[in-house]
């Protein structure tokens, strides 16, 4: 079990992605259509529905290290919170949900990312 909060703000997530020493994996758990509409360049797309079957792919992106930070995002933060809880149950102890999702990212971090 970890004491790390389940959620991280979009501004803290953006700062973490700029951290050269411990860059977290950014996981987009939305659908391919949503990702095509608006996405964050650094994100790996594995939809919430596909994740149980593709969890090995996620582990590979982390070089097998389930203790590496993972920031999960969706549209508004509800799916990513569910995915984060599931990931923690699978042993991804540093998984966090990006509060407010890509919509908050568009408003507070990068207005060039379209809102929908």
Q: What is the pLDDT of residues 70-101, one digit of tens each?
A: 999 999 999 999 999 999 999 999 999 999 99
Q: Which residues on adjacent β-strands are paired with residue 96?
A: 71
Q: What is the pTM of this model?
A: 0.94
pLDDT band (50, 70, 90) for residue 35: very high
Collapsing DSSP to helix, strand or coil, 70 comes out as strand
User: Which residues touch 55 (CB under 8 Å, ≥6 apart)?
Assistant: 90
Four-point Cα dihedral 34, 37, 38, 40, nearest 10? 70
- 43-77 pLDDT, tens digit per residue, is 999 999 999 999 999 999 999 999 999 999 999 99
Residue 22 has pLDDT above 90, yes or no: no
Give the Cα separation of 96 and 111 in Å (integer).
23
Give the pLDDT score at 1: 52
Domains of the chain: 7-108 (3.40.250.10)
Torsion 26-106-97-90 (CA) sign: negative
Give the CA angle between residues 64, 43, 80 to the nearest 5°.
Answer: 85
């Amino acid at each position: 079990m970890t004491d790390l909060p389940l959620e991280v703000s979009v501004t803290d997530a953006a700062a973490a992605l700029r951290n050269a020493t411990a860059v977290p994996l950014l996981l987009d758990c939305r659908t391919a259509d949503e990702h095509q509409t608006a996405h964050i360049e650094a994100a790996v797309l594995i939809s919430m529905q596909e994740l149980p079957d593709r969890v090995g792919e996620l582990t590979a992106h982390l070089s097998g290290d389930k203790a590496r930070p993972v920031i999960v995002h969706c549209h508004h933060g509800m799916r990513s919170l569910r995915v984060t809880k599931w990931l923690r149950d699978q042993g991804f102890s540093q998984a966090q949900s990006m509060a407010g999702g890509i919509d908050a990212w568009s408003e507070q971090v990068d207005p060039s990312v379209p809102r929908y």
